[in-house]
Every structure is written in C-alpha cells, then in structure tokens.
C-alpha cells in the first residue's frame, strides 16, 4: 500500500512510522488514521519486525490534534460514529497489538495526538514536548479513548484537571505524572527509543504478545486480570519460544527465539 501521510523505515528488527503532515503539524485526519491502521497491521504480520516506533515529522509536533475541519459540521450520530470507528481502527487496535509500539513524542501531542500516544505501549518524550486534551475548549470531549486512558496513566484527579481545564503540561510535568517514561533532548529521542526497542527485540515475541494481553486485561472491567494472566502464562508453555528460552538458559547461551 502506498502511504501519502506516512513515512516507514526499518532498522534491523525495528520499524519506524513517521506521521508526515508537517504543514498541518501532523494532525490526524481520516486518511491518516486509515493509513496508520494498515501500516501497523502489515508491520505486525512481519515476523522480522519486533518493535514499532511511532513519531511525528519535524521538530514541532508529534500530532497536534485531530483535523477539526473534517467534523466541525457533524451531527450527534456522525460524531458518535467517528469516535467508534477511530477507536476500533486505530487506538484500541494499537493498544491490543502484540507487537510493542513506542511513542516517540517529539513536540506537541494534543487532543487526538495525546490519545494516540497513550494508546501506545509506552512513551518517551523530548524536552520540548507539550501534552494536553483541549477538547472541552471546543465544546466536545476526548473521543478516542482520552477520558479512559489518561486516568489509568496519571490518576483520576490529575486527569480531571487536565481535561476540564483544557490545559497543556510540559515534558517534565508529564514525567512527574507518569504520562511518559523518559524525557530526553530532542536529538537523543530516537536513539533512546531504539535502545529500548533493541532490549525488547532480545526477548520472546510470543511471550511479549501474551504479556501485553495480560497487562491490558487488568484494565478491562469485564475481565479478571489474574485469570487472564494464568491463561496467558499457561499458553506460553506450549510455544517454541518457551522451549528455546528455557533450553538456552539451561545451556547457558543466548536464546534464538523462533517467534512461535
């Protein structure tokens, strides 16, 4: 598939997706959401790709929000459909992807941009990054999972403050809140993300997929997270990765995981 709004590169076992709409500060429109879905789906099928890094083009913005011009005149029904489709096609899709996705937040991550970063498995930010959910200043609320994921990450009170004030926080505050895992100078952002990707790539991709599934289960009220962990733990024993990992440990050598 040819992508008009994305740049995709691979470096060994790491794929880098760059949202490439610099004149729009990489704002998410329907076309970009659809392209991201297909790109992530294809990369997840590629057994050579162990980790995906998601970032924005340029030095100003990761994703500075959604493309408001696309939905400014929507009806209630159209608005609900927009949120439902977006959550299913991209935000929930990323969260449940068995291939880890690291958000490299290289600037503004606002509205749908912060929701996109929060859907990733963890986040690293540059010092110039600014984050917020300003939707209530437009007479709407976050619709791509922001009201759910932000409290999970930083707590209910802080999430209420951020959403209700429509304010932005800087990278240092995001680190203090636990919204991002690390903050670095912008020129070192991708290097650090690649470093983490390299560490992840050394491990069993099958076990990583099960771990993501079990962790996510703990935040789903309809699922018993402990039971999900037990099931996933047991499933690992039937994989070639488990046989290779345990054999390599006993033989005191580095594991070469087949990914099955």
- Which three-class secondary structure string do you get for 194-214? HHHHHHHHCCCHHHHHHHHHH
* Range 6-201 classified under CATH 3.90.226.10: yes
DSSP 8-state code for residue 28: B
Question: Which sequence spans correspond to the domains of the chain?
Answer: 6-201, 205-250
* Interatomic CA distance for residues 25 and 38, integer angstroms: 21
Marked catalytic residue, from 4, 95, 135, 187:
135
pTM for the predicted model, two decimal places:
0.94
Is 135 annotated as catalytic?
A: yes
Same topology between domain 6-201 and domain 205-250 = no
Decide if domain 205-250 falls under CATH 1.10.12: yes
**Short-list 51, 33, 45, 66, CA closest to 190:** 51
- Whether residue 115 lies in the annotated active site: yes
The single residue of 34, 35, 59, 115 carrying the catalytic annotation is: 115
**pLDDT 10s digits, 128-168:** 999 999 999 999 999 999 999 999 999 999 999 999 999 99
Q: What is the pLDDT of residues 164-182, one digit of tens each?
A: 999 999 999 999 999 999 9
Instruction: Give per-residue pLDDT as tens, 108-133.
Output: 999 999 999 999 999 999 999 999 99
> With contact defined as beta carbons under 8 Å apart, do 96 and 213 qualify?
yes
């Amino acid at each position: 598939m040819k992508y008009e709004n994305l740049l995709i590169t691979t470096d060994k076992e790491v794929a880098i997706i760059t949202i490439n709409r610099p004149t729009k500060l990489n704002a998410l429109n329907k076309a970009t959401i659809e392209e991201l879905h297909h790109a992530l789906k294809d990369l997840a099928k590629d057994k050579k790709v162990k980790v995906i890094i998601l970032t924005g083009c340029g030095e100003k913005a990761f994703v500075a929000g959604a493309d408001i011009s696309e939905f400014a005149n929507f009806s209630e029904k159209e608005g609900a459909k927009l949120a439902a489709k977006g959550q299913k096609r991209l935000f929930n899709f990323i969260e449940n992807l068995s291939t880890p996705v690291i958000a490299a937040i290289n600037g503004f991550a606002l509205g749908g941009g912060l929701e996109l970063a929060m859907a990733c498995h963890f986040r690293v930010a540059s010092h110039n990054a600014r984050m917020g959910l300003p939707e209530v200043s437009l007479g709407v609320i976050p619709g791509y999972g922001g009201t759910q994921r932000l409290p999970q990450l930083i707590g209910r009170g802080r999430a209420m403050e951020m959403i209700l004030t429509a304010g932005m926080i800087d990278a240092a505050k995001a680190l203090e809140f636990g919204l991002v895992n690390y903050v670095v100078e912008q020129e070192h952002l991708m290097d650090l993300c690649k470093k983490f990707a390299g560490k992840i790539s050394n491990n069993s991709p099958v076990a990583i997929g099960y771990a993501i599934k079990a962790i996510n289960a703990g935040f789903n009220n309809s699922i018993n997270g402990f039971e999900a962990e037990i099931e996933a733990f047991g499933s690992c024993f039937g994989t070639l990765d488990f046989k290779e990992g345990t054999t390599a440990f006993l033989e005191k050598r580095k594991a070469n995981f087949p990914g099955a």
